[in-house]
Amino acid sequence: MNHRTNYSSGAIWEDKAGYSRAVKVGAHIEVSGTVASDENGMVVGQNNPYEQTKYILQKIEKALVQAGASLKDVVRTRMFVTDISKFDEFARAHGEAFSSIKPCTSMIEVKGLVSADFLIEIEATAIITS
């Protein structure tokens, strides 16, 4: 039977909403929807789709490393954006992180996120193969 491990980032929302930053079962890791907020809950990259995306991917990478994986193990990302017309900026940051990895991905425009300051939220799925 595969063992389950929950990973926390310490964000106050995790206990409030009942979720983990990441969950690992066997070689499979799911990373929760991640926004561009720092350790103090402050927005990183205010009004900047590229900077928010870049920061989020760094947060996701930290969660993966904590779970014994890396961006190279990512097989799927899901990007929820509030303005799809900024596609090029979101895509540029995603491409910088994943140009050689090329996971499956989706970019979906949504009405809004938990705060109007957040322009993008990203989820990731990783499978450790090495």
Beta bridge partners of 5: 24
Per CATH, the number for 4-127 is 3.30.1330.40
Percent of the chain residues past pLDDT 70, beyond the cut: 100
Question: What pLDDT is stored for residue 15 in this prediction?
Answer: 86
What are the boundaries of each domain within the chain? Answer: 4-127
Percent of the chain residues past pLDDT 90, beyond the cut: 87
Categorize the per-residue pLDDT at 11 as very low, low, confident or very high, splitting at 50, 70 and 90. Answer: confident
Q: What is the pLDDT of residues 12-53, one digit of tens each?
A: 778 889 999 999 999 999 999 999 999 888 999 999 999 999
What dihedral do alpha carbons 74, 58, 30, 16 form, nearest 10°? Answer: -170
